[in-house]
Amino acid sequence: MAHTNEIIKKGASSRSMQSQCGSYQIVTAGQERKMDERKSTQRSSFFTKRTAMLFFVLACIFLKYYDDLGRQNAFDTTNVKIRNEIAKNSDAKEDGTPSQDTFRIKRTLHNHHDVATANHKEQVALTKKEDAKAKKKADKAKKKADKARKKEEAKAKKKEDKARKKEEAKAKKKEDKARKKEEAKAKKKADKAKKKADKARKKEEAKAKKKADKARKKEIDKAKKEAKKARKKEVDKAKKEAKKARKKEVDKAKKEAKKAQKKADKARKKEEAKAKKKADKAKKKEEALLRKAHEAGAIMVVECRRGY
């Protein structure tokens, strides 16, 4: 009886511990599932409740079966003793005549059966009481676990929100940094492109200016050449006209000079004739004088000769 009560207590204690362990495992599994599956909270909670109920039913069935098995345990001392007595007395009488031990064994078995029946009833009542107590304890543990789970869920949600906000802030910061980096990169690229465009524009402007200067120089050279040609033409024309006018003037001057020369020649000839006439007259006069003087000299010579 004491042994049976001890087995019942052990069974009840085992059921209580298993129930508590099962509840704790359920809560832990629920928390882990909640942490792992944050986006499916309602679905996870629903499956957690179903799993808890399933574990609770399986625990009750197992404990019931364990108690029944414990009552028929092969290592039970009473059962071992009875089986040993039966085995010993079955070989005592070879002719098959039952001995007093057989009746004693039957009576002992009957008494044991009555005791087992009473113990079974007591155990059933105790089991029901323990089951009710375990159920109450399990409900309390479940309620406590639900409260703890809700608290953990709220804490996890708060932590998740905090982590999400932190991640969002970090992502925003990273995004802002990346955006600023991209903007700086784009600005640098735009500045580089602008610089390249300015360089190309300046190059094109320099090229266009050079081309324009070349064209202007060409036009200026052409204009200068044309002006020089026109000036030369004008100069040649002026020279020709001047030459013609000079020739005309020269011819006129020559004609005038010739006329003047002719007049001068005529006057010279006239003067020469006049001078010749005058010279001839003077010569004749001189010759007459010389002749007279010669004649006078000759006379003097003669006279002088005569005087000597």
Of the ranges 3-7, 134-138, 184-188, which is most confident?
184-188
Encode pLDDT of 271-305 as tens digits: 878 878 887 888 788 777 777 777 776 655 555 55
What's phi and psi for 179, nearest 5 deg? -65, -45
Q: Yes or no: say if 177 and 55 are a contact pair by the CB < 8 Å rule.
A: no
Q: Is residue 104 part of a domain?
A: yes
Question: Is 36 part of a structural domain of the chain?
Answer: yes
Whether 261 maps to a domain, the answer reads: no
Contact 34, 152 (CB under 8 A): yes
Question: Is residue 101 a contact partner of residue 92, using CB atoms and an 8 Å limit?
Answer: yes
Phi, psi of 305 (to 5 degrees): -65, -35
Domain total of the chain: 1
Establish if 72 belongs to a structural domain.
yes
Structural domain includes residue 301: no
Within a domain: residue 118?
A: yes
pLDDT digits (tens, 9 = 90+) for 58-80: 877 777 655 555 544 444 555 55
Is residue 306, in this structure, part of any structural domain at all? no
Q: Give the helix/strand (H/E) hosting 94.
A: none
Q: Is 219 inside a domain boundary? A: no
Determine the structural domain holding residue 79 and report its residue range.
2-170
- Residues 6 or more apart whose CB falls under 8 angstroms from that of 79 comprise 72, 73
In the chain, what is the straight-line distance between the N-terminal and C-terminal CA atoms, in Å?
A: 243
Q: Give 162's pLDDT tier (boundaries 50, 70, 90).
A: confident
pLDDT digits (tens, 9 = 90+) for 183-194: 988 888 889 889
Instruction: Give Cα 110 to chain centroid, integer Å.
Output: 93
What's the chain's average pLDDT?
71
pTM over 0.75: no
